[in-house]
Structures are given as structure tokens and as C-alpha cells.
Amino acid sequence: MSTGLEDAWQNLRLTADEEQVVIVDDADDNTDELISLCLLGKLHTQCSFNPKATKSVFCNIWKPSKELVIRDLDSNLFAFQFFAASDRDYVLNEGPWAFDGSLLLLKQMTGLEVPVEVEFSTACFWVKAYDVPDKKQTISFARILASHIGEFVSYDDATVFGIDKVLCFRVDIDISNPSRRGIYIKVDDRQMWIRFKYVKLPDFCCGCGKLGHVLAGCNSVQIVEDDPNLQYGSWLRPLLSTDNSTNMIIDATTVINPGPEAFKRDEHALNIWDDRWLPRPTSFHPITPKTDAWADLKVSDLIDHNMACRHESLIR
């Protein structure tokens, strides 16, 4: 239908009045600040979803200090109007974000674009590079690695030298490409493989390695989930988040099965209020008072296992 309208527009003959160009002086406009605080967002998914639930989830996760207005611009296009730069920056810098496993793509508005024509082609991820030699744990080497994944954004200079030999950097990645699993490097005539893992990696296809769909919906690869020839897997996600409070919760679940008798229970059965599960020697319970609304909350409810991070709406 849009093609027909475009063809019709090409055939229109403008009058002399219609051909005149009006110069608009926006010096007195007071909209620049509001536009600078607005983000365009799109869910990278082939599946249907509930827009109302999507907006509710992001409001609960982001917890802005000031008001947040979310408008539907199209069937899968949103405008997120913030009223504080700190709220906007938090969303831009602490991503990526996802709803029901689908990646939320974000772009900052300029006020001159046509929202439905905006191309969402990249997303920012923290990448962990493993088995990096100590002398190569530098920002310059991070830039080299990032250039083979996407566009370098920033570097975590708090990387701790140790047995894991992990280098962390943030990269703007073209989402149309498969997730790169690693890279061969040569140092002092020695060739070695550097493994990549992606923090908060949402749902992706274990067949083709691309975001936006899962294996069951892949049109490129005909393969089943338990096939040993799958080229991608959950190992593309780091085992633990860099967030300390998240680590504490996920660490707690890892001692449930192999740990003391008190912990030998499934995390889906452990009640966070009544059972001894948290590695806090004095109580083994959270410090938050029990509430009736969440009386039946289980340990498994606190964790997004696919993304190895906490559910922000439940944990602060």
C-alpha cells in the first residue's frame, strides 16, 4: 500500500503556492530538551507480544526517578519520554534490555527523523573475552578485539588479573550478524583462541547464532535442539553477572544441590522467606521483611537464568 502512495505522490503536480519553501525559525521552540530525553525503542522479535505488558515491565525495571511516558508509535515501535537525563542515561548505559527474551533496540531521538523509518541495526553489549594473556589486558587490545565484533564503545578498567584472564569491553554490534564466538590471536609466535561471552545476551538461535529468533523459528538452519552439531549455545553467556548482588543470589543457588543437607533442595521449591538458602551465616534469609503479596516467592523467581542476571523488578 505504501508503494502505491509513493507512486501517486511522484505523479502529483504541485501548484506555485505548494512549491514554496517555508523557512522555520525554531529558536524560540522549547522542545529540544524534551526531545533529547526521548528514546525510540523496538523489540527485535518475530513473535507477537503484549505491548501493554511490555511497557509495564520496563517501567518496573527502570524505576525512573521522574515520570516516564511510553507511547505506541507503531505495532512494534515505542517512544520512551524521560524527564531526567540521569534516567535516560541509565537506560542507555545499563542495557541491553529485553522483554520475554526479546532484545529491546534503542535509539536517541533527534527530532528530525520519521520514527517509522528509523533503522534499528545495532545493540550495545558488554563482551567478556576469556583466556587473554596478562600483558594484553589493556584498552588498546580491547579496541582490537572490539573491532572484530563491532564498534568499540568503552572498556572496563577494573578488570582483575587472575586465573580467568578476562578482559571486559562494551561493543556496538550489528544484530544482523551471528554472535562471534571468539578470535585467534598470535602473541610471541604462539597462536591462541580468545573466547567471547556476551553479558545479558537475550534469546538467540543456537543454529545460526543470530538474535531475534530461536532455533524453532530459524529459516536458515534445519537442525534440532539436541543435535550435537549445534554451533551456538548458552555458553555464549557468562556464568555470572558482574553485579555483586546478582552474584550472591546465583551463588546461593549453586550450593543448593552439592552443599549441606539444609541446601539440598531444588531452587524452584525453595521459599525465599521460610527456607535456609542465602549464604548469610546469621540467618540464611533475606533482610527484607516478608510481605503477603510475595509470600510464595521462590528462589528461582529471583533469577533470569537465560541472561544470568537478577530480575530488576524484584531485587534492588
Find the CATH number of the domain harbouring 92. 3.30.70.330
Q: Are residues 69 and 165 in the same domain?
A: no
- Quote the pLDDT of residue 154: 92
Identify whether residues 146 and 65 lie together within a single domain.
Answer: no
User: Can you give the pLDDT at residue 228?
Assistant: 78
Residues 224 and 170 grouped into a single domain: yes
**Which pLDDT does position 78 carry in this prediction?**
95
Chain-centroid distance, C-alpha 217: 21
Q: How does pLDDT run along the chain (316 residues), one tens digit per residue?
A: 456 666 776 788 888 877 777 776 665 566 778 888 999 999 999 888 888 899 988 998 899 999 999 999 988 999 999 999 999 999 999 989 999 889 999 999 888 888 888 999 999 999 999 999 888 888 999 999 999 999 999 988 765 555 557 899 999 999 999 999 999 999 888 999 999 999 999 999 999 999 999 988 888 888 777 777 889 998 999 875 444 444 444 444 444 433 333 344 456 677 777 776 665 545 566 666 666 666 777 777 776 554 445 555 555 4
C-beta separation of 301 from 288 below 8 A? no
53 lies in some domain: yes
Q: What share of the chain is helix, strand, coil (3-state, %, to 5)?
A: 25, 25, 50
Tell me, what's the pLDDT at 216?
A: 87
Characterize 207-242 residue by residue with b for buried, 16 or more Cβ atoms within 10 angstroms of its Cβ, and e for exposed: bbbbbbbbbeebeebebeeeeeebebeeebbbeebb
The C-alpha cell that represents 78 in the structure block: 515505542
Its pTM stands at 0.68
Instruction: Look at residue 18 and tell me if it is in a domain.
Output: no
Given 236, 256, 280, the domain boundary residue is: 236
Of the three residues 178, 203, 236, the one that is the final residue of a domain is 236
- Residue 59 sits at the vertex; the CA angle it makes with 315 and 267, to the nearest 5 degrees, is 30
Number of domains in the chain: 3
Same domain? For 255 and 160 the reply is: no
Q: In what order do the strands lie in the sheet with 38-44?
A: 68-74, 77-82, 38-44, 102-108, 97-99
d(C-alpha 180, C-alpha 197), whole Å? 9
The grid coordinates listed for 73 are: 508509535
Answer whether residue 4 is part of any domain: no
Q: Please tell me whether residues 35 and 92 are part of one structural domain.
A: yes
3-state SS assignment for residue 174? strand
**Shared domain check, 177 and 250:** no
Other Cβ atoms closer than 10 A to 201: 22
Which residues lie across from 171 on neighbouring strands? 125, 152
- Cβ contact 278:252 at 8 Å: yes
Given a contact cutoff of 8 angstroms between Cβ atoms, the answer to whether 80 and 70 are in contact is yes
Domain ranges, residue 48: 31-117
Any domain includes 17: no
User: Quick one: 112 and 56 in the same domain?
Assistant: yes
Taking the C-alpha atoms of residue 66 and residue 83, their distance in angstroms, rounded to an integer, is 6
From 207, 236, 265, give the residue that closes a domain: 236
Q: Do 127 and 228 belong together in one domain?
A: yes
Q: Are residues 126 and 199 in the same domain?
A: yes
Contacts of 89 (CB under 8 A, 6+ apart): none
Whether residues 148 and 80 fall in one domain: no
**What confidence score (pLDDT) does residue 48 get?**
87
Query: Are residues 76 and 145 both part of a single domain?
Result: no
Can you tell me the distance from the alpha carbon of 1 to that of 4, in angstroms, rounded to the nearest whole number?
Answer: 5
